[in-house]
Amino acid sequence: MKIIQVSKAASAGIAAGKAFFYKPVDLKASAGLVAPGQTGAELERYRRAEERAKEKIGVLAKNSDIFQAHLDLVDDPALRDGVVRRISEKRENAELALQETAAEIRERFEKLDDDFFRERAVDIRDVCRTLMLALKGMEENSLAGIREQVVLFADQLTPSDTAGMDLRFVTGFVTRTGGENSHVAIMARSMGLPALVGVGDKIDEVAAGDSVILDALEGRLIVRPDEATAALYAGRRERYRRHLKMLRQTNGLPAETTDGCRVRLYANAGNLEDVKKAAAEGAEGIGLLRSEFLYMQSAHLPTEDEQFAAYKSAAELCGGEVVIRTLDIGGDKSLPYLPFEKEENPFLGWRAIRISLERKDLFRTQLRAILRASAFGKVRVMYPMIISVDELEAANRVLRECEEELARQGTAFDADIKAGIMVETPAAVLCADELAQRAGFFSIGTNDLTQYLLAVDRGNKKIAALYDSFHPAVVRSIRTVIEAGHRHGIPVGMCGEFAGNADAVPLLLGFGLDEFSMSAARIPEIRYLIRGSSRKEAQGLAQRACRCASAAEIRRLVEKKGK
């Protein structure tokens, strides 16, 4: 028996079965050139491959919105124009032109710091594999033929890979690459399958056919378990199933403490598909809609009408409030049609609200679209990375001007729309009282706030252990912001990962957080924990936490409360 400690789970649970290693078909293109005068025929061959790929993806799109996005990618000008240009100008064959164009686009996304946008590279890879298969007249290796209980191992899994999978036989996933917000993680959570992702070379310690237990509660693999260990995990799996059943029993119930304190549970969303999933998990609204997806998936600046259509859909799909964050890009999230100068430290550079206030043409277009969408649902607008009253007032002036323009044009919008800010910088924490007098609400972005407060690059693996939202500086800052917001009568939410951290629930309840916004999959457990908590007890714990000298001390305090 071998125990391999691998990583944190991307989808919780326990699974068992034989190790099955999935390898996709090798589709590397040859370097051949098209004969002079034959580029027209090669372009036509690519056009026919597009049609075949769209037919195949269209069938899958009937059951998943992920594939609707894939259909859009086939027609994306950045992809199509790149392929056409390479065939026409370089006389590359269609396979090579597709391979090289896709690589350029993927590289752009893979360089980004944001996990959500890095995942767009997986979409590009998946769509281009479908196109390549159509060009070559080949079929992908299928998972549909599995007929015994297996744990699926792969370097990477895409939506297309798992589309035909039989869930009676696949009990869990383990992948070499990927993160908590990767497609494979999201797919595993939606299917209710345990998953460990981003395990790296530790995947090589397992051989095909090995009997394995996937413990996605503790982040480990047990290879060739003995009888006693197998029996132990069978019991743990049953207890976990009962726990999930208890969580489901709270569906439809309010997030209310035992002593009558009601809070709101919202979901974070990166696209319209996430908005749909949020409702299914019982979210009361969308606490963070990242508008960047509209910009990143397009080869041009999205027009006002294009943005309006997306925001309107979000408002109509949600059923509750939708908080739309204005464009949050910078040196780490470049756009081909919006040039950025190379910066030494893009996280401290020209980004987020700084871009919007300098490029007011972009800002006005987005704000007008958001305002128009507010006529079709409960919409709020949120400015990212605010550091001063001056920035907030400048942003609000542009918003008021857009409202006046729409009113003159007779265009409907919510005249009482609230405009709030992301509190994600130390400056915003220290100026929270002044900002609260001018903002409609606060939303604490703990991901960046932790990074800036602790001077820790959260993407740097060498210092990853220093990145800790339980650090006293972060915990005290959260208290400061909530107290300032409440002094001035505005609601305070949180849209960072800390909001979905089970251990953080008593702290946040004790501080008086009004809105928790998190990954939709985390909502059932957080709701269950809130319903079993006392606000009065949480207040006492939160006060003690603020007197702690270290993150370890705070963790011990909340863990003791949870026992």
Convert the pLDDT of each residue in 145-160 to its tens digit: 788 999 999 998 888 8
Confidence class of residue 430 from pLDDT cuts 50, 70 and 90? very high
* Comparison of pLDDT for 50 and 332, the residue scoring more: 50
| CATH code, residues 2-25+143-240 | 3.50.30.10
User: Which is catalytic among the residues 128, 402, 431, 495?
Assistant: 495
Confidence class of residue 181 from pLDDT cuts 50, 70 and 90? low
Range name among 293-297, 377-381, 528-532, 546-550 with the lowest pLDDT average: 293-297
In this predicted structure, what is the pLDDT of residue 115? 64
Helix 39-61 crosses helix 120-136 at what angle (to 10 degrees)?
120
List strand residue ranges (DSSP E) for 397-496, in order. 418-423, 442-444, 492-494
In this predicted structure, what is the pLDDT of residue 226? 95
* Comparison of pLDDT for 425 and 338, the residue scoring more: 425
Look at domain 249-455+513-534 and name its CATH class: alpha beta
Convert the pLDDT of each residue in 256-303 to its tens digit: 999 999 999 999 998 887 898 888 888 999 999 999 888 876 767 899
The reply to whether 36-136 shares the fold of 2-25+143-240 is no
In this predicted structure, what is the pLDDT of residue 217? 92
Q: Is it the case that residue 563 has pLDDT exceeding 60?
A: no
In the chain, % of residues over pLDDT 90: 65
Q: Is it the case that residue 333 has pLDDT exceeding 60?
A: no
For 534, the 3-state DSSP assignment is coil
In this predicted structure, what is the pLDDT of residue 313? 95
DSSP 290-304: ETHHHHHT-SSPPPH
Active site residue 546: no
The whole-angstrom separation of Cα 484 and Cα 435 is 9
Convert the pLDDT of each residue in 61-109 to its tens digit: 776 667 877 888 898 888 999 999 999 999 999 999 999 999 988 887 7
Confidence class of residue 559 from pLDDT cuts 50, 70 and 90? confident
Task: Name the residue ranges covered by the structural domains of the chain.
Answer: 2-25+143-240, 36-136, 249-455+513-534
In this predicted structure, what is the pLDDT of residue 332? 56
In this predicted structure, what is the pLDDT of residue 63? 67
Q: Is it the case that residue 244 has pLDDT exceeding 90?
A: no
**Which residues, in sequence order, are CB contacts of 210 under 8 Å at separation 6+?**
18, 19, 223, 224
Active site residue 183: yes
User: Which is catalytic among the residues 183, 318, 402, 548?
Assistant: 183
Look at domain 36-136 and name its CATH class: mainly alpha
Output the average pLDDT for the chain.
90
In this predicted structure, what is the pLDDT of residue 391? 98
Range name among 272-276, 419-423, 427-431, 555-559 with the lowest pLDDT average: 272-276
Region 499-526 average pLDDT: 94
In the chain, % of residues over pLDDT 70: 94
Range name among 76-80, 199-203, 341-345, 483-487 with the lowest pLDDT average: 341-345
354 by Cβ neighbours in 10 Å (0-12 / 13-18 / 19+) ranks as middle
What pTM was estimated for this model as a whole?
0.78
The whole-angstrom separation of Cα 413 and Cα 309 is 14
Q: What share of the chain is helix, strand, coil (3-state, %, to 5)?
A: 50, 15, 35
> Contact, 385 vs 426, CB < 8 A?
no
> Contact, 499 vs 516, CB < 8 A?
yes
Q: Is it the case that residue 375 has pLDDT exceeding 90?
A: yes
The whole-angstrom separation of Cα 157 and Cα 149 is 18
Identify any residues that bridge with 16 across adjacent strands, giving them in sequence order. 213
Q: What is the enclosing helix (H) or strand (E) of 165? A: none
Sheet holding 170-175, edge to edge: 2-5, 220-223, 211-215, 14-21, 150-154, 170-175, 195-196, 9-11
Closest CA to 152 of 137, 139, 167: 167
Please tell me which of 104-113, 334-343, 535-544 the model is most confident about, judged by mean pLDDT. Answer: 535-544
DSSP code at position 444: E
Helix 360-373 crosses helix 389-409 at what angle (to 10 degrees)?
60
The whole-angstrom separation of Cα 155 and Cα 152 is 10
In this predicted structure, what is the pLDDT of residue 258? 97
For 73, the 3-state DSSP assignment is helix
The whole-angstrom separation of Cα 105 and Cα 124 is 8
Tokens of 102: 């896709």
In this predicted structure, what is the pLDDT of residue 65? 65
